[in-house]
Structure 1
Amino acid sequence: MNSLAWCLLVALTLFLTVALSAAEEDVKELKIEVTKSVDCTRKTKNGDTISMHYKGMLTDGSKFDSSYDRGDPLTFKLGTGRVIKGWDQGLTEMCIGEKRTLTIPHHLAYGERGFPPQIPAKATLVFETELVKIDGKDEL
């Protein structure tokens, strides 16, 4: 009975390892989930200077960065390559106050090498984002 239980445990471990690896590899495209929708007449577009709050996580839920923790949103020019490609693509057409969760495959984030030690190689990243400001447009 002990050897049967041991074999089942090993088989289950191998199955879970393969399943998790496959799930990680399945993320090939940027996924955008709007978690708080806002109606507006002025949405973000490439070239806008925007301010974003965000929480960055690995797919296992471990946090590697957060503007909320610093109490200061990140300000950057959208669509100019100053941030990872997944942000440039995933943060367009947003309204002030809107929240999105972005699931970003490694090729639109930190690539084959990652950003050690916080972000491993080929890591899919998950960002909870909130648009705080579009330069020249008042906050909500």
Structure 2
Amino acid sequence: MATQMPEVQGAYGDLPVIVFPEGEAPKGLKVVELEEGNGPMVRRGDTVTVNYHGQVWGNDTAFDSSFERHQPASFGIGVGQVIKGWDQTVPGHNVGSRLLVSIPPEYGYGSRGVPQAGIGPDDTLEFVIDIIATR
């Protein structure tokens, strides 16, 4: 049986709630466009502004959430300023889109993880990303 992606409750702009299915995390890098925006397309090399909510597969709480801080984040995309999983999945989507991205360790923080954030070396990360702007 194929592993399912989590369910995301909440619309674009709302604090997302991630509901995990039974079983193991999906294998490989996966992205699902939950809502398609109609703004400009994000391209590699752009500076993108997003709200995001990240949880380790199966955990009840976020390890990082700009939604919870009420402070969107801006950074270069596709240029190595963020983890590989973001660089490879955010470009090609439009402003106004809500994405669900499943990131295995090799596209996230690798074999070291981020212990202070509760991210282990074998953890799959689930992010809900709302694309606010690109330039």
Fold agreement, TM-score > 0.5: yes
Q: 2:84 maps to what in 1?
A: 85
Q: Which range moves more in the overlay, 64-73 or 102-111?
A: 64-73
**What is the CA distance between 1:71 and its match in structure 2?**
1.1
Q: Number of matched residues?
A: 112
State the identity %: 31
**What is the CA distance between 1:70 and its match in structure 2?**
1.3
Q: 2:19 maps to what in 1?
A: none
Q: Which residues of 2 match residues 98-117 of structure 1 at below 5 A?
A: 98-117=97-116
Q: 1:48 maps to what in 2?
A: 46
Q: Which range moves more in the overlay, 77-86 or 54-63?
A: 54-63
Q: 1:128 maps to what in 2?
A: 128
Q: Which has the larger radius of gyration?
A: 1
Structure 1 segments unaligned to the other structure (5+ residues): 1-18, 136-140
Where is the helix percentage greater, Structure 1 or Structure 2?
Answer: 1
Structure 1 stretches of 4+ moved >6 Å: none
**What is the TM-score with the length of structure 2 in the denominator?**
0.77
Q: Tell me the distance in 2 between the aligned counterparts of 1:116 and 1:100.
A: 26
Q: 2:58 maps to what in 1?
A: 60
Q: Tell me the distance in 1 between the aligned counterparts of 2:78 and 2:66.
A: 20
